[in-house]
Amino acid sequence: MQNELKTISLGALVLLVLSTPLFAHHGNAAYATGTKVTVKGTVTEWFWANPHCFLKLDAKDEKGEVQHWVVEASNPPDMTRQGWAKNSFKPGDEVVVTMMLPKNGAPGIGRFSGNNSVVLNGQPFPTVASNNTESTPKP
Protein backbone atom coordinates (compact mmCIF):
# COMPACT_ATOMS: atom_id res chain seq x y z
CA MET A 1 0.00 0.00 0.00
CA GLN A 2 2.79 2.42 0.95
CA ASN A 3 4.75 1.66 -2.26
CA GLU A 4 1.62 2.04 -4.36
CA LEU A 5 0.95 5.50 -2.89
CA LYS A 6 4.56 6.55 -3.53
CA THR A 7 4.35 5.31 -7.13
CA ILE A 8 1.11 7.21 -7.78
CA SER A 9 2.50 10.37 -6.17
CA LEU A 10 5.71 10.14 -8.19
CA GLY A 11 3.74 9.58 -11.40
CA ALA A 12 1.53 12.62 -10.69
CA LEU A 13 4.60 14.76 -10.00
CA VAL A 14 6.26 13.66 -13.24
CA LEU A 15 3.10 14.48 -15.24
CA LEU A 16 2.86 17.90 -13.61
CA VAL A 17 6.49 18.72 -14.37
CA LEU A 18 6.23 17.54 -17.97
CA SER A 19 2.98 19.42 -18.63
CA THR A 20 4.15 22.81 -17.27
CA PRO A 21 5.60 24.00 -20.63
CA LEU A 22 2.17 23.46 -22.20
CA PHE A 23 0.68 26.18 -20.01
CA ALA A 24 3.40 28.64 -21.07
CA HIS A 25 2.35 28.31 -24.72
CA HIS A 26 -0.86 30.27 -24.35
CA GLY A 27 -1.12 34.04 -24.14
CA ASN A 28 0.96 36.87 -25.44
CA ALA A 29 4.11 36.13 -23.45
CA ALA A 30 6.27 35.94 -26.58
CA TYR A 31 5.03 39.31 -27.86
CA ALA A 32 5.92 42.84 -26.83
CA THR A 33 2.35 43.93 -26.09
CA GLY A 34 3.37 47.60 -25.88
CA THR A 35 5.08 47.54 -29.28
CA LYS A 36 2.74 47.61 -32.25
CA VAL A 37 3.34 48.09 -35.93
CA THR A 38 0.88 48.67 -38.76
CA VAL A 39 1.57 46.98 -42.09
CA LYS A 40 -0.25 47.45 -45.40
CA GLY A 41 -0.06 44.53 -47.79
CA THR A 42 -1.66 41.88 -49.93
CA VAL A 43 -2.99 38.58 -48.56
CA THR A 44 -1.19 35.50 -49.83
CA GLU A 45 -2.90 32.92 -47.57
CA TRP A 46 -5.46 32.68 -44.74
CA PHE A 47 -4.74 29.53 -42.74
CA TRP A 48 -7.82 28.50 -40.71
CA ALA A 49 -6.98 25.58 -38.42
CA ASN A 50 -6.25 24.59 -34.85
CA PRO A 51 -4.38 25.43 -32.78
CA HIS A 52 -4.08 28.92 -34.34
CA CYS A 53 -5.17 30.73 -37.49
CA PHE A 54 -2.55 32.62 -39.50
CA LEU A 55 -2.76 35.41 -42.05
CA LYS A 56 0.11 35.52 -44.51
CA LEU A 57 0.70 38.72 -46.44
CA ASP A 58 3.28 40.50 -48.53
CA ALA A 59 4.09 44.14 -47.84
CA LYS A 60 6.69 46.53 -49.21
CA ASP A 61 9.18 48.04 -46.78
CA GLU A 62 10.63 51.58 -46.93
CA LYS A 63 13.05 50.49 -49.68
CA GLY A 64 10.25 49.03 -51.81
CA GLU A 65 11.36 45.46 -51.16
CA VAL A 66 8.71 42.82 -50.49
CA GLN A 67 8.56 41.50 -46.95
CA HIS A 68 6.65 38.32 -46.12
CA TRP A 69 4.58 38.53 -42.92
CA VAL A 70 2.87 35.84 -40.87
CA VAL A 71 0.34 37.18 -38.37
CA GLU A 72 -0.96 34.86 -35.67
CA ALA A 73 -4.59 34.83 -34.56
CA SER A 74 -6.43 32.71 -32.03
CA ASN A 75 -8.12 29.36 -32.72
CA PRO A 76 -11.12 29.01 -35.10
CA PRO A 77 -13.82 28.86 -32.38
CA ASP A 78 -12.51 32.07 -30.77
CA MET A 79 -12.19 33.78 -34.14
CA THR A 80 -15.73 32.74 -35.13
CA ARG A 81 -17.11 34.37 -31.98
CA GLN A 82 -15.34 37.57 -33.04
CA GLY A 83 -16.93 37.56 -36.51
CA TRP A 84 -14.11 35.93 -38.49
CA ALA A 85 -14.59 32.93 -40.79
CA LYS A 86 -12.67 30.44 -42.90
CA ASN A 87 -13.44 32.55 -45.97
CA SER A 88 -12.75 35.98 -44.39
CA PHE A 89 -9.62 36.54 -46.48
CA LYS A 90 -8.58 35.40 -49.93
CA PRO A 91 -5.33 35.80 -51.85
CA GLY A 92 -5.15 39.25 -53.40
CA ASP A 93 -7.18 41.02 -50.69
CA GLU A 94 -5.66 44.31 -49.59
CA VAL A 95 -5.21 44.55 -45.81
CA VAL A 96 -3.90 46.94 -43.21
CA VAL A 97 -2.94 45.01 -40.08
CA THR A 98 -1.92 46.37 -36.69
CA MET A 99 0.04 43.76 -34.79
CA MET A 100 2.26 43.14 -31.81
CA LEU A 101 5.83 42.17 -32.60
CA PRO A 102 7.72 39.30 -30.96
CA LYS A 103 10.06 40.16 -28.09
CA ASN A 104 12.94 38.36 -29.80
CA GLY A 105 12.75 40.76 -32.77
CA ALA A 106 12.16 38.04 -35.37
CA PRO A 107 11.31 39.74 -38.67
CA GLY A 108 8.01 39.16 -40.46
CA ILE A 109 6.13 37.77 -37.48
CA GLY A 110 3.30 39.32 -35.50
CA ARG A 111 0.11 38.72 -33.60
CA PHE A 112 -3.14 40.58 -34.14
CA SER A 113 -3.33 43.32 -31.53
CA GLY A 114 -7.02 43.00 -30.69
CA ASN A 115 -10.21 44.69 -31.82
CA ASN A 116 -9.96 47.05 -34.79
CA SER A 117 -6.59 45.67 -35.84
CA VAL A 118 -7.58 44.88 -39.46
CA VAL A 119 -8.80 46.90 -42.44
CA LEU A 120 -9.87 44.61 -45.29
CA ASN A 121 -10.19 46.06 -48.80
CA GLY A 122 -10.65 49.54 -47.31
CA GLN A 123 -13.28 48.53 -44.72
CA PRO A 124 -12.85 47.84 -40.98
CA PHE A 125 -12.88 44.12 -40.28
CA PRO A 126 -14.78 42.45 -38.81
CA THR A 127 -17.77 44.69 -39.29
CA VAL A 128 -19.50 46.05 -36.22
CA ALA A 129 -22.54 43.84 -36.86
CA SER A 130 -20.50 40.64 -37.01
CA ASN A 131 -18.39 41.68 -34.02
CA ASN A 132 -21.37 42.24 -31.72
CA THR A 133 -21.20 39.51 -29.09
CA GLU A 134 -23.90 40.94 -26.86
CA SER A 135 -27.11 38.99 -26.80
CA THR A 136 -30.33 40.66 -27.86
CA PRO A 137 -32.54 41.45 -24.87
CA LYS A 138 -35.68 39.35 -24.69
CA PRO A 139 -39.05 41.08 -24.22
- Each residue's pLDDT tens digit, 19-55: 445 444 556 788 888 889 999 999 999 999 999 999 9
Ordered by where they begin, the domains of the chain are 31-131 (2.40.50.140)
Examine residue 126 and say whether the peptide bond preceding it is cis (omega within 30 degrees of 0): yes
**What was the pLDDT predicted at 74?**
93
Question: Are the C-beta atoms of 85 and 94 separated by less than 8 Å?
Answer: no
**What was the pLDDT predicted at 35?**
86
- Distance (Å, whole) CA 67 – CA 138: 50
- Distance (Å, whole) CA 137 – CA 16: 44
- CA of residue 132 relative to chain centroid, distance: 19
Query: What pTM does this model have?
Result: 0.72
